[in-house]
């Protein structure tokens, strides 16, 4: 008897109400000659790096019948060595955590510190995935705003902290999509403001002395238990940190002074390893211990660990490539300025440019010429990733045709 291939079933599925009408994340993935829309490293891995990764993965395959190192000890040591070289800050391996891309790192953080009845905040424009991480962790999303030049507005930061008491604040530096970075003074001020700006919580010490630090008033949580204000976890997302200009600090420099600071990184951009899916973070031991409570067991495969360690060991040539991308970014920014566009100062591997009367039409005209960039952020602005020299020339030529020649 021939079976029905598409049977009609009278079933009412238990869809989540908060997902109704929403669309999955996804920057356009189109097969065009020049793709400059998702901030990828434009250069394929070198033959030397491919050989190193292949050898490392081949060795790992021999034990593929065994579960991987649950705590990825070797990879943490390799990441520690790399950060010491790149940022000048030595982070102990046990203060480093890794996962399948920065996406999973962010979810681990929110699983550990956010959740129902807790608030996660950021200041727009910023990375478009932050509200989705928040939704997926059943937290409440609050979006503050930035100044017109995309710098942080500290009056707005104070308002969000005072009104919403977020458990987590995301701050990308360099910021996506603008490319702007935070100064050390700004980082310090934010970290001072967030020492006691989080949700109310109680612990053994608070039960014995239920007094907040800044008042003499006893407070309680929703269950009537004596409580006090927690810190707000400050996540400084440094996905593009390797591209920052000389003199721009890494938040890693402040890690030993602020227990509520988390610094996240990725191997997707500078290492040209977006397909590897390896993100990592550095934080205080107390935070790492909480993250380990919520991670899935054996979440980082032996293959991923082996490939990431091989890439880290062969980083010298990659760092030379990063320097070239920085120079190409600055050249691209100058070219756009000469064409009459306004430029946001960039410490990333992309340039945010405006102000464009009809940005969607410009985006579409570029696509018609075989060039894909990103329509993101405030109206009137577009973001273009740094490509190869040939891709840059193709983009600038198409932009002249699409926009400048019609001004």
Name the residue ranges covered by the structural domains of the chain. Answer: 27-45+317-405, 47-314
Distance CA(392)–CA(38), nearest Å, equals 15
Those residues whose C-beta lies under 8 Å from the C-beta of residue 310, and which sit 6 or more positions away, are 49, 52, 53, 55, 56, 57
Point out which residues pair with 34 in neighbouring strands: 371
Distance CA(344)–CA(354), nearest Å, equals 9
Distance CA(401)–CA(375), nearest Å, equals 18
pLDDT at 214: 47
CATH 3.40.640.10 fits 47-314, yes or no: yes
CATH 3.90.1150.10 fits 27-45+317-405, yes or no: yes
- Does 27 sit behind a cis peptide bond, omega within 30 degrees of 0 on the bond before it? no
Q: CB of 120 within 8 A of CB of 143? A: no
- Does 189 sit behind a cis peptide bond, omega within 30 degrees of 0 on the bond before it? no
Strand, helix or coil at 266? strand
User: Is the CA virtual torsion 45, 46, 49, 51 positive or negative?
Assistant: positive
SS (H, E, C) 136-202: HCCCEEEEEECCCCCCCCHHHHHHHHHHHCCCEEEEECCCCCCCCCCCHHHHHHHHHHCCCCCCEEC
Q: CB of 293 within 8 A of CB of 265? A: no
Q: pLDDT tens per residue, the chain (407 residues)?
A: 455 555 566 888 899 888 888 888 766 778 899 999 999 999 999 999 999 999 999 999 999 999 999 999 999 999 999 999 999 999 999 999 999 999 999 999 999 999 999 999 999 999 999 999 999 999 999 999 999 999 999 999 999 999 999 999 999 999 999 999 999 999 999 999 999 999 999 865 444 433 344 444 456 656 667 889 999 999 999 999 999 999 999 999 999 999 999 999 999 999 999 999 999 999 999 999 999 999 999 999 999 999 999 999 999 988 999 999 999 999 999 999 999 999 999 999 999 999 999 999 999 999 999 999 999 999 999 999 999 999 999 999 999 998 765 55
Strand, helix or coil at 283? strand
pLDDT at 216: 40
Those residues whose C-beta lies under 8 Å from the C-beta of residue 404, and which sit 6 or more positions away, are 339, 340
Distance CA(376)–CA(388), nearest Å, equals 22
Q: CB of 60 within 8 A of CB of 305? A: yes
Instruction: From residue 137, give the alpha-carbon distance in Å to each of 6, 110, 114, 292.
Output: 34, 6, 7, 16
Start-to-end C-alpha separation, the chain: 68
Considering only CA atoms, which of 27, 54, 25, 46 is closest in space to residue 38? 27
Distance CA(231)–CA(168), nearest Å, equals 9
pLDDT at 206: 42
Say how many residues make up the chain: 407
Q: Taking the model in full, what pTM does it have?
A: 0.91
* Predicted confidence (pLDDT) per residue in 293-313, tens digit: 999 999 999 999 999 999 999
* Predicted confidence (pLDDT) per residue in 281-295, tens digit: 999 999 999 999 999
- Does 18 sit behind a cis peptide bond, omega within 30 degrees of 0 on the bond before it? no
């Amino acid at each position: 008897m021939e079976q029905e291939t598409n049977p009609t079933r009278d079933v009412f599925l238990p869809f989540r109400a908060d997902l109704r009408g929403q669309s999955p994340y996804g920057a356009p993935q189109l097969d065009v000659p020049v793709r400059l829309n998702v901030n990828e490293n434009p250069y394929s891995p070198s033959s030397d790096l491919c050989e190193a990764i292949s050898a490392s993965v081949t060795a790992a395959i021999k034990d593929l019948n065994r579960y991987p190192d649950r705590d990825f000890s070797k990879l943490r040591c390799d990441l520690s060595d790399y950060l010491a070289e790149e940022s000048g800050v030595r982070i102990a391996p046990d203060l480093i955590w890794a996962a399948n891309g920065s996406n999973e790192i962010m979810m681990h953080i929110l699983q550990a510190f956010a959740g129902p009845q807790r608030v996660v905040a950021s200041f727009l424009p910023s990375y478009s995935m932050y509200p989705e991480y928040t939704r997926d962790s059943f937290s409440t999303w609050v979006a503050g705003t930035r100044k017109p030049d995309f710098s942080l507005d500290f009056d707005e930061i104070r308002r969000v902290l005072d009104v919403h008491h977020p458990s987590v604040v995301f701050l990308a530096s360099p910021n996506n999509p603008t490319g702007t970075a935070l100064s050390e003074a700004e980082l310090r001020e934010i970290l001072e403001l967030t020492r006691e700006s989080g949700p109310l919580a109680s612990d053994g010490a608070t039960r014995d002395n239920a007094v907040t630090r800044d008042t003499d008033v006893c407070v309680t949580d929703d269950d009537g238990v004596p409580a006090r204000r927690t810190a707000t976890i400050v996540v400084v997302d440094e996905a593009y940190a390797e591209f920052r200009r000389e003199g721009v600090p890494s938040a890693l420099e402040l890690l030993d002074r602020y227990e509520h600071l988390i610094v996240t990184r990725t191997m997707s951009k500078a290492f040209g390893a977006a397909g590897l899916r390896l993100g990592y973070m550095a934080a205080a031991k107390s935070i790492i211990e909480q993250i380990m409570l919520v991670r899935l067991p054996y979440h980082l495969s032996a293959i991923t660990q082996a490939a990431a360690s091989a890439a880290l060991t062969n980083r010298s040539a990659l760092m030379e490539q990063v320097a070239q991308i920085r120079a190409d970014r600055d050249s691209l920014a100058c070219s756009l300025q000469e064409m009459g566009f306004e430029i946001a100062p960039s410490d990333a591997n992309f340039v945010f440019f405006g102000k464009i009367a009809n940005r969607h039409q410009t985006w579409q005209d570029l696509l018609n010429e075989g060039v894909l960039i990103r329509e993101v952020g405030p109206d009137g602005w577009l973001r273009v990733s740094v490509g190869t020299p040939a891709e840059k020339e193709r983009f600038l030529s198409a932009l002249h045709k699409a926009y400048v020649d019609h001004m």
